[in-house]
Amino acid sequence: GNMCTGAAHHQWDKSMIIAHVINTSYTPVDKRKFVHAGAFYLMCKFLHFCTGWLSNQCRFAHSQVEKAVWMLERDTNISREDLVTITASSFQNTQSQGQPHFQPQAQGGATAGAWGTEPSRSSTPSSEPQGVESPSINLSQFCMTCWGKGQKSGEDGKKDKCVRGHSNFKHNSVFLSMPAGKEIRSLPGILQVGMKPILCANYPKCTRPICTHPHGEEEREIWMYMLKNKINSLRALCDHIQETQKSKTRKISVGESVVSVWGQNA
């Protein structure tokens, strides 16, 4: 029935709670108190000592895990049941180092795995210097709150806020391929080196809460670049692009013509 398996047989719908589990550590995640699209979540200053947390009355997050889950629910509208199912499946696949068991439909109506496998490469070392190559698509990070209003606001130095004052920039941000301004989603953790992502067959009308297929060629190119270079986050990719661009910039010598330098780099 709709009861828990404990001796007290609590009603499952009213008593259910999800938790992040790692080793023997459990971090509970309560239900969001704010569920509108523009909700912004702050940390409770009392954390686990909050008296309102025990009675489920506090509106603030009590751990970074809880805050991250709330933002995921806000941005994807995923149900908690689907979230538990997907994360459990992802964990099992990671543990077994195998590919996912489900097989979504690829473009053209043909059934295919979620990912293809890149052909084996020659073991001959590449003559191209490692760590210098950068993707052909430029990636920039902007404030998500401002982007929702049609504005592109970068980070204010290293202050973890955007130039318009919105805080928590590192978490409240969106990544765009420039100059097109297309949103790029984070690389799914289930993807592994050697896999070749296949475009989503339902894009741009995909309604999956969490789709592990790239939505467009730009996103696929960025994901493949991240896999190839073992870059785990879009933030790290932005830093990587900036470093590679700096390494390719040559300083102009005293008395040297700017026009001649531009002609050499063209």
Band of pLDDT at residue 104, cut at 50, 70 and 90: very low
List pLDDT tens digits, range 122-141: 444 433 444 445 567 788 89
Does the pLDDT value for residue 203 go beyond 80? Answer: yes
Q: Where are the domains of the chain?
A: 12-96, 111-119+130-139+171-247
If you average pLDDT over residues 214-232, what whole number do you get?
89
What is the pLDDT at residue 93?
Answer: 65
pTM above 0.75, yes or no: no
Compute the C-alpha angle 223/224/225, nearest 5°.
90
What is the pLDDT at residue 180?
Answer: 78
Instruction: Give helix 234-247 / helix 217-228 axis angle, nearest 10°.
Output: 80
Number of H helices, E strands in the chain: 8, 7
Please report, for residues 212, 214, 229, the alpha-carbon distance to residue 206 in angstroms, rounded to integers and kept in the order given: 11, 11, 28
Give Cβ neighbours of residue 37 (< 8 Å, ≥ 6 apart).
Answer: 74
Least confident of 39-43, 62-66, 171-175, 177-181: 177-181
- Taking all residues of the chain, what is their mean pLDDT, rounded to a whole number? 76
What is the pLDDT at residue 21?
Answer: 82
Does the pLDDT value for residue 266 go beyond 60? Answer: no
- The single residue listed with the structure tokens 């050499």 is 264
% of the chain with per-residue pLDDT over 70: 75
Band of pLDDT at residue 60, cut at 50, 70 and 90: very high
Q: Name the token pair of 239.
A: 């830093």
If you average pLDDT over residues 237-249, what whole number do you get?
78
C-alpha to C-alpha distance for 213 and 144, rounded to whole angstroms: 22
CB distance 152 to 142 below 8 Å: yes
Least confident of 71-85, 180-194, 209-223: 180-194
Q: Name the token pair of 85.
A: 């199912």
Closest CA to 107 of 215, 185, 218: 215
If you average pLDDT over residues 98-116, what whole number do you get?
40
Q: Name the token pair of 25.
A: 């550590």
